[in-house]
Amino acid sequence: MTDGAATLADLYAPIHEDLARVEQIFDAELLSDHPFVNELCDRVRRYRGKMLRPALLLLCGKGCGYLVSAHHTLAAVVEMVHVATLVHDDVLDQAEIRRRQDTVNAVRGNETAVLLGDYLISHAYHLCGSLHDQYAARMIASTTNTVCEGELLQVHHRSKLQLSEAEYFNIIRSKTAALTGTCCALGARYAGGDDDTVDCMREFGLSAGVAFQIVDDILDLVGDENRTGKTLHRDLDLGKLTLPIIHSLANAHPQRRRRLASALLEPAGKLSQDVVDTLQETGSIEYAFAKARRCVQTALDQLDLLPQSPARDSLVGMAEFILRRPY
């Protein structure tokens, strides 16, 4: 523990051994006969992220009952889907650093990064196909459909100064929260959860995922690259209107508003002090944070249904972690 707050390692204690199993499955799935492909996959294997999605799936499983081997397979599947989206996202965002390492696109170029992302997603479906039933495969495929729709929508709305909050929430629900919702629903379903329990757990994951992306968008503006371990300050340059920016555009003085609009339309390559001051003046970081806090509360409310257990405590802790994560 640090200053009384649970670290991810603390929160993962109930699933410590399960996560180790998931990592083995993940690594074994990606072994190739081609040394060059292996070398590429090694980058992805060596640098783990926070493993939030596998952890959500396993903790929801444990919190709803018991874990079976399908949980471990599916936890590896959702992490593989997630990593595939990161590899593609870094191409779209022209990002240079991810998980404290050079991105695949920075080292090997966009072609290789696009193909590696495809390779990862293909392996995710291959792994999912090893399960005895089709339930998860259909749910994963429908989730990746939604994630792609969210990314397409984001590109479609690039630099749209009138983007509404509702449109923003639509995008982040699709590109980020759909997957965390599915993780939680799958965890519950494969633990024998009934329909109500599965629905509640999906809602937990959806609300937590929305909060997670709002905080991520805040970090993109005011976070520290050394702590997040990834390239920041890209959203504005790419014309991505995130919640603090939408709020600031609606509330800034006309002159400041005009300058904020130009920052979105004419990439400056770095975040200007003027933008930071405008966000400060309109209280937009606090505004977005309050929205994230409300989503976390909605997520926490879903957990009332679960019996007391260390896994349930960890799910509470993970929802709270979203609001204080520095990375």
Nearest to 86 by CA among 99, 77, 72: 99
Angle made by CA atoms 255, 222, 319, in degrees to the nearest 5: 125
Q: Decide whether 128 or 208 has the Cβ nearer to ligand IPE.
A: 208
Q: In terms of CB distance, is 45 or 50 closer to ligand IPE? A: 50
Position of minimal CB gap to ligand IPE: 49
176 forms part of the interface with Mg ion (CB under 5 A): no
* Positions that interact with ligand IPE (CB under 6 A): 49-50, 52, 82, 85-86, 89, 93, 95, 99, 175-176, 213, 216, 220, 230
Distance (Å, whole) CA 87 – CA 264:
24
- Interaction partner, residue 52 (ligand IPE, Mg ion, none; CB < 5-8 Å by kind): ligand IPE
Give the DSSP H/E element, type plus range, for residue 236: none
The binder of 207, among Mg ion, ligand IPE, none, by C-beta within 5 to 8 A per type, is none
Q: How far is the CB of 306 from Mg ion (least distance, A)?
A: 30
Number of residues that bind Mg ion (CB under 5 A): 4
Q: CA dist 90 to 137, 164, 175, 207, Å?
A: 26, 25, 14, 25
Does the protein bind Mg ion through residue 313 (CB under 5 A)? Answer: no
Q: How far is the CB of 262 from Mg ion (least distance, A)?
A: 22
Alpha carbons 103 and 113: distance in angstroms, whole number: 9
Find the helix or strand (DSSP H, E) in which 75 lies.
helix 69-92
Nearest approach in angstroms of CB 260 to ligand IPE is 19
Give me the sign of the Cα torsion angle 249, 253, 257, 259. negative
Quick one: which segment of 55-63, 68-76, 121-129, 214-222 binds Mg ion (CB under 5 A)? 214-222
Smallest distance, ligand IPE to C-beta of residue 164, A: 19
Nearer to Mg ion among residue 189 and residue 230 (C-beta): 230
- Contact between residue 181 and residue 202 where contact means Cβ atoms under 8 Å apart: yes
**Cβ nearer to Mg ion, comparing 97 with 305:** 97
Q: Which of 69, 233, 57 shows the shortest CA–CA distance to 139?
A: 57
Find the DSSP H helices in 190-251. 195-222, 225-228, 243-251
**CB of 160: closest distance to ligand IPE in angstroms?**
17
Q: Among 93, 106, 175, 179, which residue sits at the site for Mg ion (rule: CB under 5 A)?
A: 93
Q: Does 209 bind Mg ion (CB under 5 A)?
A: no
With CB cut-offs between 5 and 8 Å by kind, which of ligand IPE, Mg ion, none does residue 302 bind? none
**Region from 59-67, 169-177, 219-227, 313-321 binding Mg ion, contact rule CB under 5 A:** 219-227
Is residue 85 a contact partner of residue 117, using CB atoms and an 8 Å limit?
A: yes
Q: Cβ closer to ligand IPE: 305 or 320?
A: 320
Contact criterion met (CB below 8 Å) for 298 and 203: yes
Q: Which of 23, 29, 79, 216 binds Mg ion (CB under 5 A)?
A: 216
* 50 touches 326 (CB < 8 A): no
Residue 85 contact, options Mg ion, ligand IPE, none, Cβ 5-8 Å cut-off depending on partner type: ligand IPE
Q: Which residues, 6 or more positions from 19, have their beta carbon under 8 angstroms from its beta carbon? A: 12, 51, 54, 55, 58, 75
Give contact residues for Mg ion (rule: CB under 5 A). 89, 93, 216, 220
